[in-house]
Amino acid sequence: MRPIQTVTVALTGASGLPYGLRLIDCLIAAGTRVWVLYSQAAQVVAQQELGLTLPSRPADAEQWFIERSGANAGQLRVFGREEWFAPVASGTNPADAMVVCPCTMGTLASIAHGLSDNLIERAADVSLKEGRKLILVPRETPFSALHLENMLKLARLGAVILPPSPGFYTHPQTIEDMVDFVVARIMDQLDIPHSLIRRWGETPS
């Protein structure tokens, strides 16, 4: 398996946008190339949860993410919801991995049933059909039987279902610590080195 060099990060309208934004920052810091997709609902959540105005135009959003993350030239791209000529829309040029974080139940259901009605869903469909790693971070509680059936279907197709469930054995002191725990687990699944948390069994420095 080749090292992961490019990761698509999709932000949807579930609660938990701090996870997705922190993930992008950490991937950029690790030297990974990042392709960002986001839904209209994610813009609403950004304002509600963080007081952030996520630009509607992909070009403006790209500049916003670059300034926020400190990405180098060419390291970060943002694509619009209907940008069907984006690399992620085709199996001839997919990312090495894709993370939908946070993932709404609607997005998860659409991916599970191969609807591909927008670029996020299409990119996930491409990831599955090309055998690339697909990580879904579903944020909902409680899960209905329908939610669980869709997650089971996707897990059987090879997707990683990674609910944002912070651990407390690291003794988090802040919300940021709890966010980092979840982002660390995503980075582990991508096999990208990080130092976000102290691992189980490690002696505190």
Alpha-carbon distance 49 to 194, whole Å?
A: 26
Check whether 205 is labelled as a binding-site residue: no
Check whether 39 is labelled as a binding-site residue: yes
- Burial zone of 204 (CB within 10 Å; 0-12 exposed, 13-18 middle, 19+ buried): exposed
Check whether 56 is labelled as a binding-site residue: no
Nearest Cα to Cα of residue 187 among 12, 29, 11: 29
Check whether 184 is labelled as a binding-site residue: no
Check whether 104 is labelled as a binding-site residue: yes
Check whether 185 is labelled as a binding-site residue: yes
Residue 77 parent element (H or E): strand 76-78
Helices (H), 57-118: 58-69, 105-112
Check whether 31 is labelled as a binding-site residue: no
C-alpha dist (Å) from residue 72 to 76, 100, 191: 8, 23, 22
Q: Known binding site for dimethylallyl phosphate: residues?
A: 169, 185
Q: Known binding site for FMN: residues?
A: 13-15, 39, 104-107, 139
Q: Known binding site: residues?
A: 13-15, 39, 104-107, 139, 169, 185
